[in-house]
Structure 1
Amino acid sequence: MVVTDVVAGILGLWIVLYVLDANPSNDFAHWVHSAADWLSAWAHDLFTPSEGWLRTLFNYGIPAVLYLFVGHTLAGRLK
């Protein structure tokens, strides 16, 4: 369960950094973006609205919610 929380946290952090217009050349922002891209690669361009913040919210937010749901469900079943 902790692993899925961390994964969802990274995805959520990237959404926040994007919406707040973080400097993409900053090492931390770059690392978070790279990690979020890798974690949500299966959902890239799932939705393609014209607004960048909405596209980011959908393409990174949906994987975050799914990771949380699946991770917590599996952890509950294993417990």
Structure 2
Amino acid sequence: MSTRHRSGSNQAATVIVVIADVMAAIIGLWIIMYLLDANRANDLVAWVADAARFLAGWSYDLFTFDEAWARVVMGYGLAAVVYLFIGHLIAGRIRRG
């Protein structure tokens, strides 16, 4: 294979990893803000909460713990882990391919 093809594959893999990492970081930031009882009237906190809710829409309320903090940690945490796992898996396949 040409170096040019490998370079393009590496760039694509890097973009995928960065996107997955940013998605997981937003979700992780919301978990931390929730646990620290951040002021939801603040624009930054509201934006992070909305973005995390969008990204974790499929896993939000997946678990039915009695404690709200446990539902947030598990529901949003699962989404973050899945994004990291899938993003890095796809990037690894692209780099090898």
**What amino acid is aligned across from residue 67 of structure 2 in structure 1?**
E
TM normalised by structure 1 equals 0.98
Q: Give, in whole Å, the separation in 2 of the partners of 1:52 and 1:23.
A: 17
Percent identity over the alignment? 52
RMSD over equivalenced CA pairs, Å: 0.5
Aligned-residue offset at 1:48: 1.3
The one-character-per-residue Cα deviations of 1:22-60 (angstroms, maximum 9, x if unpaired) are 001000000000000000111121101111111100110
List aligned pairs for 1:1-79, cutoff 5 A: 1-79=17-95
In structure 1, runs of 5+ residues without a counterpart are none
The one-character-per-residue Cα deviations of 1:2-37 (angstroms, maximum 9, x if unpaired) are 000000000000000000000010000000000000
Number of aligned positions between the proteins: 79
In structure 2, runs of 5+ residues without a counterpart are 1-16
**Could you say what secondary structure the match of 1:48 adopts?**
coil
